[in-house]
Amino acid sequence: MRIGIVNDRAMAVEAIRRVLSKAAQHRVAWVARDGAEAVGLCAKDRPELILMDLLMPVMDGVEATRRIMTTTPCAILVVTATVRDNAAKVFDAMGAGALDAINTPVFNPRTTSSSAAALLFKIESIGKLMGDRVDHQLAAARGGATSFFSRRNLLVALGASAGGPAALATLLAGLPRNFPAAIVIVQHVDEQFVAGLAEWLGQHTELRVGLAREGEVPAQGAVLIAGTNDHMVLVGSNRLAYTPEPRDYPYRPSVDVFFESVANNWRGDVAAVLLTGMGRDGAKGLKTLRNRGHHTIAQDQATSAVYGMPKAAAALDAAIYILPLERIAPTLTGLFAANLNHSIQS
């Protein structure tokens, strides 16, 4: 894989170079010392993957990611030494289209560090994801929701990847405080950042946001986020659980695995939503849910930071509604209108 490195610190660049040299299939395409230089280099020579730092002079990694994804889109992995201290910037970069984030590998010329192995694993996972695309003709856009759920056991299942944090913040901000359904989210992000994501999303909504715990039952008005690198699944009695299977899967946690488990085990009605993201994770699971009679929604191309996952869903005719991001929350509210009115009266 041809990889661009964007980092203003010489030692960090050297550490990344040494890690990449351990894998013969990777080579450095170019090195940029700030975001503005990266935007220019990417326009002239687009690599397959960019390793993007966050804090740099001239132009930071968030703005560089936003501009690259607008003009010459490619896979971007945030690689920075300050991930935990700059969680908001990480989520801003992911909202602009970055796929994931990881700490800069430790510079150690004599041994292979765990941080080096972690970076190579991330790159390998992204490589698998990039090779898993669908380029079929898109399904036609559809109008707004016209039917309502009647039962009270309600679930909104959400899947997202690149661009997901910002999209999720927008969607959750548009839901009312008395929203009558439980909400469960699978976002492609490393488990070390999920707690920060939950806290950040909680600042954008009046709903309760937290990490999904083993054995927890999704509750009305609460938002639960997959909290580990294992797959989150729904098991008997509407309980959530985690499983390492399937192990050989480029997406962890997987939206498909979660959606399929919801289709098989949720006792009640479901509205499933597939948001922005690279690859096609979630498309097959969304199709299964549609085939089982549930409402399914995919984000449209114009408002997706990366039109991969929802594009795959559209190609499979998995989505009943293909909507711009700003219309998804009102559509969900409309689908649950009968139950929302009951909640207000009681």
- Report the catalytic residues: 161, 188, 281
Give φ, ψ of 245 to 5 degrees. -90, 140
Spatial neighbors of 322 by CB under 8 A, at least 6 apart, are 139, 140, 141, 142, 297, 298, 299, 300, 310, 314
- For the chain, what is the total number of helices (H) and then of strands (E)? 12, 14
C-alpha span between 154 and 338 (Å, rounded): 12
Which H or E run contains 51? strand 49-52
Q: Is the dihedral angle over the CA atoms 191, 195, 200, 205 positive or is it negative?
A: positive
| Spatial distance between the Cα atoms of 164 and 219, rounded to a whole number of angstroms | 22
According to DSSP, the β-strands at 239-243 and 231-235 are antiparallel
Q: How many residues does the chain have?
A: 346
CB atoms within 10 A of CB 318: 26
Q: What is the largest CA-CA distance in the chain?
A: 68
Estimate the crossing angle of helix 61-71 against helix 87-95, to 10 degrees.
10
Residue 213, Cβ density class (10 Å: 0-12 exposed, 13-18 middle, ≥19 buried): exposed
Using alpha carbons, list the distances in angstroms from residue 53 to 21, 63, 81, 126, 190. 19, 11, 8, 17, 17
